[in-house]
Amino acid sequence: MTHQEKVVSVLRQATADGVLGQDHPVAGFIDVQGIRDSVTALHEAFAHVPDALHAFAVKACPLVPVLRLLADAGMGCETASPGETRLALAAGFAPERIVLDSPAKTRAELREALDLGIALNADNLAELDRIDVLRTTGSRSVVGLRVNPQVGGGAIAEMSTATPHSKFGVALDDPGARARVLDAFLQRPWLTRLHAHVGSQGCPLPLIAQGLAALYRLAEEINAHVGGRQVTSLDLGGGLPVNFSDDTTTPTFRDYVRVLTDTEPALLDGSYQVVTEFGRSLLAKNGFTAALVEYVKESGGRRIALTHAGAQVAARTVFMPDAWPVRVTAHGPDGRPKTTARVPQDVAGPLCFAGDVVAHERLLPELSEGDVVVLHDTGAYYFSAPWAYNSLPRPGVYALLHRDGEVLFAPVRTPQTLEEVVQESGLPHAEALLKGFGPSGRS
């Protein structure tokens, strides 16, 4: 079954089951077998590496059922906030398979990680000073230091984290920084990991490999400086760029391993435990968003389809359309691909600002009221992280399986109700601003 055939079968079943329709005009879908296949491809690409922990980046899909599926498939978990850590624990990840990477960890967050045995990467030398105070002798946490190899940025500046002025990590090329890093490890025998993150989307593999090769060389330098094998693991942060132009998965995890090995042959030879932090590359192509077309109109000679999928589920695409274009396909109310004449048209969302457009002048079969548009490759960073502008309810997300010619659904996140939106927006405190305030500021 081709990708298009799978999408059509999902749409037909979704409209028949009512998970997509007038009551629920936008929904996200995620392919369970596709996720398992992607995890298998990752593990196979690193099969020759003696000790590797593949930690899924929670930010890419902070949905507990998806995280639990990934844990079952043998993944670890990378978190970047207290909320993400709680999601990882709730999903069943063992603390020792969780890596905490927040750049602004509070003392409470550090204390929790150290008490539970969660691995963590300090973002800076001041954070190491905090860990000095909070860490107890019995802590099982692996502690690392994030460094910025300053190898430059890719095509999307906002996604490049190894630039000269990046907010992340210790900038290695700054005057005196390298010596301070060496001294930090010499003073702390429990500091055993190095972490770097060059970027993912928009970053070519040679640039990523250049930064991670620098990480390996720094580990060797540190171990020589302290006179022993203190650094034992390398956290290869960042991930693979994803091809959003068609169904092809490129680059692959094998491509990534090949480029890393060509750049620094010793990086994956087993001298160090390796941690990876893939997110988008595991899930993007295993999910899509579907939305109803509510109206179609003309403006200035241009056809505009007003749909229920806009910036609330595709914020990056709306605000950075050149960096984050999505493929859009047009389907009839029954889910079948439309065969009407192709015309340039905007595919706009429901939000009340002019820029809420996911596709500009896209050549598509002529859309009509009641049709369905599909935004492809949105399994990561799209419907799983909705934007609450205009108080639109969060859409439902459904896992899917193709079995014996049928499409089966399982709920991942139920659609938010309007009553829940009102509750979340302060209904229990509706009279608080009219009744005066107590001495502590609480009404």
Give the model confidence (pLDDT) of 177-213 as tens digits.
999 999 999 999 999 999 998 878 777 899 899 999 9
pLDDT tens per residue, range 121-158: 999 999 999 999 999 888 999 999 999 886 767 676 67
| Same-domain status, 294 and 388 | yes
Residue 199: DSSP 8-state: B
The verdict on residue 38 lying in a domain is yes
Domain count, the chain: 2
145/235 Cα distance (integer angstroms): 9
Q: Name the pairing type of β-strands 119-122 and 191-197.
A: unpaired
Residues 318 and 418 reside in one and the same domain? yes
The average confidence (pLDDT) of the chain is 94
Q: Which residue has the tokens 């963590």?
A: 120
Mean pLDDT of all residues in 345-349: 98
Residue 175, SS3 per DSSP: coil
Q: Six-digit token pair at 25?
A: 């005009």
* Residue 41: inside a domain: yes
CB 202 within 8 A of CB 156: yes
322: CATH:
2.40.37.10
Closest CA to 219 of 233, 236, 207, 238: 233
pLDDT (mean) for 349-374:
97
**Pair (335, 215) in one structural domain:** no
Give the pLDDT of residue 9.
95
Residue 440 lies in a domain: no
Same-domain check for residues 25 and 127:
no
| Domain enclosing residue 393, as ranges | 3-29+285-424
Which residues does 393 contact at the CB level (< 8 Å), separation at least 6? 415, 416, 417, 418, 420, 421
Give pLDDT, residue 37.
Answer: 98
Whether 276 and 293 share a structural domain: no
SS3 252: coil
pLDDT digits (tens, 9 = 90+) for 268-304: 999 999 999 999 999 999 999 999 999 999 999 999 9
> Which residues of 107-203 form beta strands (DSSP E)?
119-122, 143-148, 170-171, 191-197
CA pair distance 73, 330, nearest whole angstrom: 34
pTM: 0.95
